[in-house]
Structure 1
Amino acid sequence: MTAHSPVHEHVHQHTDPATARIVAALGPEAEQMPDLGIPSAAPGRGLSDLVSAEGRAGDLVVVVPMTFGRAPAVIADCARTLRDVRGRTGGARVALAAPLGDATMLVTRLRAAIRRHELGDAAADSVLVVSPAIDPFADAELFRLARLARQYGRPGLVEVAFHGGTEPDPDLAGGVARLDALGSGRPMVVSATLAPAPVTGRDLPGEGEYLLGPAVLRSVIDTRVREAVHRLDHGRDGIDAALDAEDGHGYAHSHVAADGSVYTHSH
């Protein structure tokens, strides 16, 4: 007679994502984003109070960091805020979703925006990618992403400018002047954030257009919420995993541990 091992079925909770109360965590890339009717706040006290209030009104709160990954401090600050809020929401579960997007999504969306204005009689012959200034590392990264976005496209010239934020260099006027100096006849303006592309005063293609329109933006948020709810049903709320989101962002430097060992990291 052969002994058989007992069969254990894997059973876990299946939560309907439609029941989640969504909160958008704001950062520099979310300034002037379309109004989606979603409660929003910056990480810190504002986000803490909002999540607590939403938790008292529902059984599940999912926070979506509104960044394409260029502002990892927003993700880490969300995690620190929710770590402190977790357990103080009247019994409601709290989850931190993956950020709205990443570098690959941003390049893809920039490329799509560029293609809208690279054909026809009034086709643009250069691109000015615009964002608020975030920090030196995020701003330098945008130059790389802008170069990738125009790869294989018709405009052979791409420049980056910063409109608002901290220490915009070059600013919007400076970015347009660079294109003029390089022989551009008709630049297009493309936003690299959730804000509409700024107005330059020259009636350029792309001015006032969103990188992600309201319908597309809401669809992406809903996808992040579904993913977060699925992970939460498997016991992962995403909060602790995001605490080190800033690692690798910034200058590398060393720390001395309590036992005297030296380790180096970036943030």
Structure 2
Amino acid sequence: MTAHSPVHEHAHQHTDPATARVVAALGPESEQMPDLGFPSAAPGRGLADLVAAEGQSGDLVVVVPMTFGRAPTVIADCARTLRDVRGRTGGARLALTAPLGDATMLVTRLRAAIRRHELGDAAADSVLVVSPAIDPFADAELFRLARLARQYGRPGLVEVAFHGGTEPDPDLAGGLARLDALGSERPMVVSATLAPAPVIGRRLPGEGEYLMGPAVLRSVIDTRVREAVHRLDHGADGPAGADGIDPALDAEDGHGYAHSHVAADGSVYTHSH
């Protein structure tokens, strides 16, 4: 008689992502974003109350951090909020998605926006990439991403300016002054966040335009929700990480100045915030 190995069947819950109650978690990159029809709140009390209320109306609440990753505090604060709100959702499951986007997506979207105005009789001869000031590390990162966005493209002159937020340096006027001083005659303005590019009053290409319109944003959010629901149903990353909450608590690691801690056993470890 031939011995047969036991067959192990794994039953997974299959949740229709369309039934999830989607909540957008707001941050500095989502200020003035298009109206997508989703309830939204910033991490903290507002998000906690909103998620708890949504949990009373559905079996699954999925929270999407509206950041391209330049504001990892938004992700970590979402995780802390959802960790604290567990048990207050009337039995509904919670899930935290991956951020809306990452650096690669932002560079790709910036390139697409630049290409819209780089050819023709009224073509721009420089680019001003604009964002609210977030913090020194997020702001410095934008200079790197803007440089990558113009790689292999036209025009070759790209500057960054900060419009609003905390300590904008350079501010919008300063960024335009740099381009003027470098000989630019027709700069384009490109938003690096979900807000429309500022209207400066010089009738510049790109003024008032969104980096990502509502249809594109909804498509990306739908993808993030589907990924999160699949992970939750299949227990990816183990039971403790399937909802995406606990792993996201460390989202700020590597962002900020590196510093050291001394553990109870005397060992020293270094990380960044």
TM above 0.5: yes
User: What's the CA shift for 1:88?
Assistant: 1.8
Question: Over residues 135-180 of structure 1, what are the superposed CA-to-partner deviations in whole Å (9 max), with x where a residue is unaligned?
Answer: 0000000000000001111101000000000000000010000000
Over the matched positions of the two proteins, sequence identity in percent amounts to: 94
Task: Compare 117-126 and 7-16 and name the one that shifted more.
Answer: 7-16
Q: Distance in 2 between matches of 1:10 and 1:118?
A: 54
**2:229 is the alignment partner of 1:245:** no
Q: Is the 8 A contact 1:28 1:132 kept in 2?
A: yes
Task: Compare 80-89 and 97-106 and name the one that shifted more.
Answer: 80-89
Q: Distance in 1 between matches of 2:57 and 2:211?
A: 33
Note the 1:24-39 alignment, pairs <5 A: 24-39=24-39
**2:170 is the alignment partner of 1:170:** yes
Secondary structure of 2:56's match? helix
Question: Over residues 215-234 of structure 1, what are the superposed CA-to-partner deviations in whole Å (9 max), with x where a residue is unaligned?
Answer: 11111111100111000101
Q: Distance in 1 between matches of 2:86 and 2:230?
A: 18
Q: Is the 8 A contact 1:132 1:164 kept in 2?
A: yes
Note the 1:76-115 alignment, pairs <5 A: 76-115=76-115
Q: Distance in 2 between matches of 1:153 and 1:5?
A: 59
Q: Is the 8 A contact 1:173 1:200 kept in 2?
A: no
The alignment of Structure 1 onto Structure 2 pairs a total of residues equal to 266
Q: Which runs of 4+ in 1 moved over 2 A?
A: none
Q: Distance in 1 between matches of 2:151 and 2:207?
A: 22
Q: Distance in 2 between matches of 1:85 and 1:229?
A: 19
Task: Compare 255-264 and 161-170 and name the one that shifted more.
Answer: 255-264
State the TM-score, normalized to the length of structure 2. Answer: 0.97
5+ residue gaps, structure 2, are 236-242
User: What's the CA shift for 1:2?
Assistant: 2.5
User: What's the CA shift for 1:6?
Assistant: 1.2
State the TM-score, normalized to the length of structure 1. Answer: 0.99
Q: Is the 8 A contact 1:132 1:163 kept in 2?
A: yes
Q: Distance in 2 between matches of 1:77 and 1:25?
A: 10
Q: Is the 8 A contact 1:128 1:188 kept in 2?
A: yes
User: What's the CA shift for 1:11?
Assistant: 1.8
Q: Is the 8 A contact 1:103 1:145 kept in 2?
A: yes
Note the 1:196-211 alignment, pairs <5 A: 196-211=196-211
User: What's the CA shift for 1:44?
Assistant: 0.3
Question: Over residues 59-102 of structure 1, what are the superposed CA-to-partner deviations in whole Å (9 max), with x where a residue is unaligned?
Answer: 00000000000000000000000001122210000000000000
Task: Compare 182-191 and 1-10 and name the one that shifted more.
Answer: 1-10
Q: Distance in 2 between matches of 1:87 and 1:12?
A: 23
Q: Is the 8 A contact 1:63 1:96 kept in 2?
A: yes
User: What's the CA shift for 1:132?
Assistant: 0.1
User: What's the CA shift for 1:10?
Assistant: 2.3
Secondary structure of 1:110's match? helix
Question: Over residues 40-72 of structure 1, what are the superposed CA-to-partner deviations in whole Å (9 max), with x where a residue is unaligned?
Answer: 000000000000000001000000000000000
Q: Is the 8 A contact 1:55 1:89 kept in 2?
A: yes
Aligned to 1:11: 11
Q: Distance in 1 between matches of 2:199 and 2:173?
A: 11
